[in-house]
Structure 1
Amino acid sequence: MTLDAVVGVSSRAVKAVLHVPEGTTLALLGPNGAGKTTVIEALAGLTEPDSGHATLGDAVLFSDRGGRMRLTESRSRGIALVTQDAALFPHVSVLDNVAFPSRSRGNSRADSRADAHEWLERVGAGHLAARRPRTLSGGEARRVAVARALASDPRLMLLDEPFASLDIESAVAMRSLLREVLKGRTAVLSTHDGLDAIDLAHTIAVLDHGIVVEGGATSATFEHPRTAFTAALAGLVWLSGTWVEGALTLADGQLVPAIGEGLTLGAAVAVTINPRAVKIVPPTTPGGVRDNVLALEPRGDGIVRVRCSALWADVSIAEASHFLPRVGEPAHFDVAARPHAFSLDS
């Protein structure tokens, strides 16, 4: 089922436009407070929008008709929601938690439990069937929550920060599980981690203050980000300023040589740069960018990230051994290849 939605919740300053083709996963990205959970809850029927509309295939989830919202009940939407707290019923077994959707559809206890056993096995949690939720680890509870969601045979899966609060091992296992169970399903995944989007999503939508500010195919969006947030997720340096002939001018007046096509003088522009293309050079080197070092972060394999106020560089210890700066000191940087500048007004 294809999802098309315009989600408006004025009390939370959200007006997000989403399109999720049938059988694909959309990653909803954004910093804390961007509105991701509000959008997820509105689609699930837990938060009432006051404007917009949403359809899932031929079914209307909600619609604004002349200022009056028409809402379909949550239980009739064919949507399953998995949240970071799992939200399992504490007073019944894992098996009966997963059997609940089938029982709610009027199936017998025996048939519902048989289906639940199958779903638990599918998510690698069959051995947990007799346990109570309070005895589960965070990763185990999240697996059971996924099994219960799938047992409802949803037309749309909603996952709100499903990896939050999990240790690294559990998060890796959960990501592997979702990679398998989301194949061919229509889903929206809320996350603040670019790796989740790369691994699980066909498309992304980046929220900022409740509005989708960029989006599209996952790989293309990360390769050519249009916002500082997305650039950071992609591991790219983001510099913004104004355009002069052949260069971007930073706020402090320093120039970053760049390639610009069709840009007008004084226009607001930005560039993205691979941090491995940024080199530390001797202070006497002509040109370049001078910046204060905020942190030196080991990245493994002999690489040190020199993080500054405006940019950062990933350099080998060998490269920087002659003039590796200390925290709080200025450093001089040079960009190996001229980046392409683009307008922030378009």
Structure 2
Amino acid sequence: MTRHPHYRLGSSIALLMLACTLTPLARAAELVVNGGFEQNAGAGSLVFTGWQAMSQPGSQGGFYAQQGTQSALTPVTVAAPPQGTFAAMSDQPGPGSHALYQDIAIPAGKSATLSAQVYLQSAAPPSAAPATLDFLTVPNQQARIDIMDPAAAWNDVGAGVLANVFQWPGGAAASGYQSVQLDVTPYAGRTIRLRLAEVDNRQSLFFGVDAISVISSDVTPPTSVGAVRQGNTVTLTFPPVASTPTETVTGYQASCVPVGGGDTVTATGTQSPIAVSGLVAGTSYTCTVAAQTNVGTGPSSPPISVPGSTTAAAAAVPAWSFASTLLASLLMLGCLFLGSRGRAARLLRR
């Protein structure tokens, strides 16, 4: 049977449209399920969508859906969740060892950045962090976030830990929520396990985690971010982020999170610098910048600390200033060299 040319053309177009439908578009993506812990079984529950909970047999307490300024079980006054209504926070009436984890596939050929807000309040200073999550090992009072091999045991702290994201530095006073971040691009093309863990066998330990995120993108995070605060405004400077064949950079978003919890302040712009207004007087912040692209928001820059008072101090000197300095130096040396040759020629002519 002979097919007319227009039938063959129609079939080709249909196949092309089907291929486009089935082929996923490259885009910036959030890889963590329920990183804000908003999806749970209710205030004070131990169940979070997307997360697996584990506890050592005989443990008391666990990671609870915490809201407001009281811990879920005891209750004790703690910092409010920095994002949304809920945070995951450990609480216990007695000794225990607990973890929350989920497995995350990092796409091949992508950059990826992990970020989170963490809170620590312990009734027993300082921390005691032996190389085990066994609460029967005394003393053991620790909190940590790790990138793990999914094949490792949930309570492994040895070879199964690929990278440590956060380790409680010790101390008893409530420090407020703090920003932590790790570049997980080295794990592109493989599945990793993100684990939150705490052990307590001295006194109560409140380990809160919120706004945990892994953003994958073709674009890279901004680097060498600088910050200058004047009153209730901080001005952030940064070098431009390059577009890629699949993602076009269209602008930037700056975000500042108050240390100790509170509302995040944001601002957008098409280039550096970006001024973020509305900061609370006397409150310190941690600020980040992320590129916005035609398909989403890319990974954030490493967090930079912004003091609570006006400051002219900046972060690391932007990378492009080094290039400018080098170019200026080379031009100056060239001018000096040419000038020296000219003077020498004139002397010889005399």
Q: TM-score, normalised by structure 2?
A: 0.22
